[in-house]
Structure 1
């Protein structure tokens, strides 16, 4: 059985967990945080989550894990059967992960954790996100799903990451870069949130946050 390591506040952990739940792939969830101990580094060389253990060995990086799951479970429609459409789904997922969320992450200290970011960081992130959001808007369909009429990995990435991008830009710049570009992540989130896998991921995240508050 697959063992998934991480914690429910990690959007990339939730990305993998969503896919496992959505496609009925059996797994064991193992609570783990970022770490530099030898046991963690043996499974995840940078000590990041998520990572998994399989019968063949460990794997890290969320998209690598999703690709592995698709290969290991060819009976599960994790990607479209058409090669080009499957590539477009991966393209959108990569765009969300690398060009939107990873860039916006530099704002989280101020947006979510009570800290401040430098004016240089604000300026750099604003320039990058303005260009990247416009690029994403050119390829995303939201008809009604990110890649078109069918649910895909792109919707999972959008569900776990676009709210962070929108909320962070709103908190730091006073405007939601995504909504301003016509990317209605809120409506999309409500649609995806009706899926049982999304509901489980959300419930576990909220329960984890409540437990953290209680100490």
Structure 2
């Protein structure tokens, strides 16, 4: 059985977990937080999560894991069957992960963890985020799903990361860049949360946050 290592607050962990749940792939969750401890580095070279352990070995990086799952379970429609539609879904995922979330991540220290980032970092991130969100809006359809009329992996990526981008920009700049661009990520989250897999991911994340506050 596949073991998914990580923790419920990680958006990339939740992206992989959503895929596993959505497509009925058996897996076991193993709690691990990012670390430079050798016990983690032995399986994830940069000490990041998520990573999975399989009968054949370990894999890290969420998109690599998802591509592996798609090939290992060809009967599971993780990507659309049509090659072009599948490529468009991958394109949208790349925009969310690379041009939006990865840029916003530079600001998480101040937005969520009580630290500070430099004004130069904020200025650079603002420029890149405005540019990236505008590009994403040109690609995305939200009619009602990110890629159009069908639920795809792009919705899972957006569900996992767009709220973080919106909340981060609101915390740092005083406005939600995603909503201001006309992308209603809140409506999208509400739509996707109707799916049992999304509900499970959301409930587990909330439970983790509540337990952390209690402790």
Band of TM-score, shorter chain: over 0.9
Matches within 5 A, 1:77-156: 77-156=77-156
1:178 matched to 2:178? The reply is yes
1:106 to partner: Cα distance: 1.2
Give the TM-score normalised by the residue count of structure 2. 0.98
Deviation at residue 40 of structure 1 after TM alignment: 1.6
Quote the RMSD (CA, aligned, Å): 0.8
Does 1:12 find its partner at 2:8?
no
SS where residue 48 of structure 2 aligns?
coil
Q: Shift of residue 37 of structure 1?
A: 2.6
1:198 maps to what in 2?
Answer: 198
Q: Distance in 2 between matches of 1:106 and 1:42?
A: 26
TM norm structure 1: 0.98
User: SS of the counterpart of 1:55?
Assistant: coil
Q: Helix, strand or coil: the match of 2:28?
A: strand
Q: Counterpart in 2 of 1:63?
A: 63
The aligned residue for residue 25 of structure 1 is 25
Shift of 1:155: 0.4
Residues in 2 aligned to 1:40 and 1:179: alpha-carbon distance in whole angstroms? 37
In structure 2, the gaps of 5 or more residues are: none
User: Secondary structure in 2 aligned to 1:43?
Assistant: coil
1:125-149 residue CA offsets vs partner (Å, 9 max, x unmatched): 0110111111101101111100111
Runs of 5+ consecutive residues of structure 1 not aligned to the other structure: none
Moved more, 105-114 or 183-192: 105-114
Q: CA deviation at 1:39?
A: 2.8
Other structure's SS at 2:42 match? helix
Give the superposition deviation at 1:38: 2.6
